[in-house]
Structure 1
Amino acid sequence: MADSAAGGRQVDGFHGISIEYMRSPKFLQADGGYKRVVWMPKEVKERVKDFIPKELVDKIATEEDAKTIDELKAFLKEHNHPVVERWKAMEEEAKKAVEEAAPEEVSEMIPVATAPTLPITAGGVKIILKNARIFAKKVIIQSMKREKKG
């Protein structure tokens, strides 16, 4: 787990903070405080144990409780951590979004290519498409430059 946030790179979901801030009553106040903390090193947990709400102390995992993300999820569910309720709410929102999303009508695409002759002019390229439907994976338009005769 600790390796997931190490190496000096930023990783979504991991938050590096000071011990003093963890002792503050304003610790992650806007995000729900210790209700949002799911894992911390055992040594850190012991140092701030008196500042963690009593009902959450045993619900926060350490490296001894969970070594992988799957083990962490199982630990949180087993100990009924408050973050599990957020997962349920997110799952319900996702189900609602899927139910509300109307299936898009898929029309059969028949590739049709009709093109009158395009005169190549010295000034560039002119392409006019009227009432056209084009389905292309990639379109590349390049100007052609004349080679100088030496």
Structure 2
Amino acid sequence: MDELFTYVGAGSAVSSHDISVLTYYMGRPDYPHPPAGRYYLVDFGYAVRAGYLGPYRNTRYHLDDFRGREAEGYMEKFNYQHSRLHNVVEQSFGKLKARWYILEGVPNYVRYKLVKVLFDCCISAGAESCLQLIGWADQQKLQ
């Protein structure tokens, strides 16, 4: 796994609940929907839709739940692998925050400046897809 971000969206005016934010960005023309046969990993609480893979509900999920006991059945085995991949995603965010301390706390800047800070950090960390979004951040400044 390359641990690179596929898409970075920041500066939306929607509430910060995960599904609201995802739905908002999925409606944007520059959002890279998963290609056929590929999937994006999502957490519990996301609506089931094509191309987005969430874990099974009411089944063991967290890696700690599997310590000392192997996964039983296809749902637990799937959730175990999903949890391992989710861990990689969390580690990627952790590495980004460790490299750019400004991302740990939220500085008291206006929104368009915070968006630019986030994109600059992501770009220098290797998220090339951020390049197309910087123009969007500049547009926010004008509104």
TM range (shorter): under 0.3
By percentage of residues, which structure has more helix? 2
If the length of structure 1 is used for normalisation, what is the TM-score? 0.27
Which gives a bigger RCO, structure 1 or 2 (Cα 8 Å, sep 6+)?
A: 2
Q: TM-score normalised to the size of structure 2?
A: 0.27
